[in-house]
């Protein structure tokens, strides 16, 4: 079982096209529901009571139309008081999900500052004449609270501008989560089947068996894995900061209009 014996940051080197792997960086104040949203994306249910985040990195592997894809989810909350580490996470991120709670004005103010920080940091990686549109989604969680909210939608739109991608969601009752996840994969240029409702969840062992060699359609059906499927890797760990620094120093090459790195996080 090869994938269990190598660090998560090296998986893409062996089995993934560079454009088939995306890192989603999730930022926001504590207690706004970031982990709850990530658990919904991973199809892992909802925890009713608040539990402080202990895991900060998740990885989900997909088999879609014979191709392998990977979405890494980094909850950068622990880097809140470490600007240099947070900046590095921003620089290595492909898509950004900024989460606040509609009943917490301070969390909204923090998201506003984080968006500006992302734009400034990522702008330094682009040429002056390049289109500087960055894949950022603003998420107002706990929309189910209704009258308890302290930040109105009109105020959010006014502060963030019309160009912002904004979703008001409830991780508790799943309101608008499907639209949020669709926007995430669309911004990442990934197949729509990576959305939680559009693929079948399987175990990591089944995924490894499926990807171990090229199988015929008959063999796939025998494994009951016909159609899009995905597996959460149980041993996923956040790549080291040294790996991220090395990744940022790796040359890029043009692939159509999009630049991709020639090496992976190793």
CATH assignment of the domain containing 191: 3.40.50.300
Tell me, what's the pLDDT at 165? 87
- Residues (pLDDT < 50) of the chain are 1-14, 253-266
Both tokens of 77, joined, read: 């909350």
- Rounded Cα–Cα distance for residues 141 and 100 (Å): 6
Tell me, what's the pLDDT at 212? 76
Tell me, what's the pLDDT at 258? 43
Split into its structural domains, the chain has a count of: 1
Comparing CA positions, the residue from 183, 224, 238, 178 lying closest to residue 8 is 238
Residue 266 lies in a domain: no
Q: Starting from the edge strand earliest in sequence, which strands make up the sheet with 165-168, in order?
A: 165-168, 136-141, 95-101, 21-28, 67-75, 57-64, 229-232, 200-201
Render the burial of 62-72: b for 16+ CB within 10 Å, e for the rest. Answer: bbbeeebbbbb
- Rounded Cα–Cα distance for residues 66 and 26 (Å): 29
Tell me, what's the pLDDT at 232? 93
Residue 60 lies in a domain: yes
Tell me, what's the pLDDT at 3? 41
Query: What is the number of helices (H) and of strands (E) in the chain?
Result: 9, 10
Question: Counting every residue, how long is the chain?
Answer: 266
Residue 107 lies in a domain: yes
Residue 255 lies in a domain: yes
Domain interval for residue 220: 2-261
Please list, in sequence order, all residues whose beta carbon lies within 8 angstroms of the beta carbon of residue 158, skipping any fewer than 6 positions away.
none
Residue 178 lies in a domain: yes
Where helices occur in the chain by DSSP H, the ranges are 11-15, 34-41, 83-92, 105-123, 153-160, 177-187, 204-211, 217-222, 241-248
Tell me, what's the pLDDT at 164? 73
Tell me, what's the pLDDT at 10? 40
Residue 209 lies in a domain: yes
Tell me, what's the pLDDT at 64? 92
Tell me, what's the pLDDT at 210? 79
Please list, in sequence order, all residues whose beta carbon lies within 8 angstroms of the beta carbon of residue 160, skipping any fewer than 6 positions away.
112, 115, 138, 166
Tell me, what's the pLDDT at 49? 54
Tell me, what's the pLDDT at 46? 57
pTM: 0.81
Tell me, what's the pLDDT at 53? 55
- Rounded Cα–Cα distance for residues 236 and 130 (Å): 34
Q: Which strand (E) or helix (H) includes residue 58?
A: strand 57-64
Residue 81 lies in a domain: yes
Tell me, what's the pLDDT at 6? 38
Tell me, what's the pLDDT at 265? 33
- Rounded Cα–Cα distance for residues 33 and 171 (Å): 7
């Amino acid at each position: 079982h090869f994938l269990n014996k190598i660090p998560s940051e090296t998986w893409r080197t062996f089995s993934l096209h560079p454009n088939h792997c995306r890192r989603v960086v999730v930022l926001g104040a504590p207690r706004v529901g970031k982990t709850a949203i990530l658990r919904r994306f991973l199809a892992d249910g909802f925890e009713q009571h608040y539990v402080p985040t202990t895991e900060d990195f998740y990885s989900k592997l997909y088999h879609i139309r014979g191709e392998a894809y990977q979405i890494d989810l980094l909850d950068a909350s622990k880097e809140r008081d470490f600007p240099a580490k947070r900046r590095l996470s921003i620089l290595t991120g492909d898509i950004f999900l900024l989460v606040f709670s509609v009943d917490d004005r301070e969390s909204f103010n923090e998201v506003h500052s984080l968006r500006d920080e992302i734009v400034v940091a990522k702008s330094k990686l682009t040429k002056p004449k390049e289109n500087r549109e960055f894949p950022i989604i603003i998420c107002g969680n706990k929309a189910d609270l209704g009258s308890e909210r302290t930040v109105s939608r009109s105020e959010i739109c006014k502060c963030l501008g019309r160009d912002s991608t904004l979703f008001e969601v409830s991780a508790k009752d799943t309101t608008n989560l499907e639209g949020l996840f669709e926007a995430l994969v669309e911004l990442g240029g990934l197949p729509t089947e990576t959305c939680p409702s559009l693929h079948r969840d399987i175990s990591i062992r089944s995924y490894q068996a499926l990807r171990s060699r090229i199988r015929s359609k008959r063999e796939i059906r025998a494994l009951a894995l016909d159609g899009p499927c995905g597996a959460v890797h149980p041993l996923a760990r956040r790549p080291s900061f040294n790996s991220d620094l090395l990744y940022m120093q790796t040359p890029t090459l043009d692939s159509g209009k999009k630049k991709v790195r020639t090496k992976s996080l190793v």
